[in-house]
Amino acid sequence: MMDGNSFRYQKAVASKFPLFISQDGTNGEVKKKALSYNQITFMQHVDLEPVRTERPGENVAYYKIANHYKWALDELFIKHDFRRVIILEDDMEIAPDFFDYFEAAAKLLDTDKTIMAVSSWNDNGQKQFVYDPKALYRSDFFPGLGWMLTKSTWMELSPKWPKAYPYCCLLILR
């Protein structure tokens, strides 16, 4: 969960970067916590349909997650008409330059159509492994954490969004 310091920083950028929290489900405590923050828009995805897995023994949660991602991204890109969206998991800690990084990377994302998404996640991004703090790398691996994509990319992906996550991004990229 985001702590108070993260949300204090968030308030400083909220006017420039509208913040949304999307809850998947009906847990009252989660909703109460989300609504306790100022300067956010709360979205709630309630999917009561039974999940039909494609293969026996598959984890139903993967289907729920993929469905929630699709719903939330459709809401943000279609209903709210955003040009770009940054997706964060609720347990990520963001760096002080997080929004600056994405603002700079947005220019690349908008102009280079060979880039599907920009990610801030790097398993080796810890201080002891970073030799050039200004380096930016391409990858064919989709981390699914702290990433940004454009509306045009989403409009291409949405109709073919797979039913189960984590397979969603891996299948689309192949």
Query: What is the mean pLDDT for each group of 10 consecutive residues in the chain (174 residues)?
Result: 56 76 93 89 90 87 90 96 92 83 93 91 74 81 83 94 69 49
- The SS3 assignment for 73 reads helix
**Residues contacting 106, CB < 8 A, separation 6+:** 84, 118, 148
Return the DSSP state at 54. S
- Predicted local confidence at residue 52, as pLDDT: 87
Which numeric CATH code is attached to 4-173?
A: 3.90.550.10
Alpha carbon distance 132, 33 (integer Å): 38
**The pLDDT of residue 13:** 66
C-alpha distances out from residue 55 to 63, 163, 164, Å: 12, 12, 11
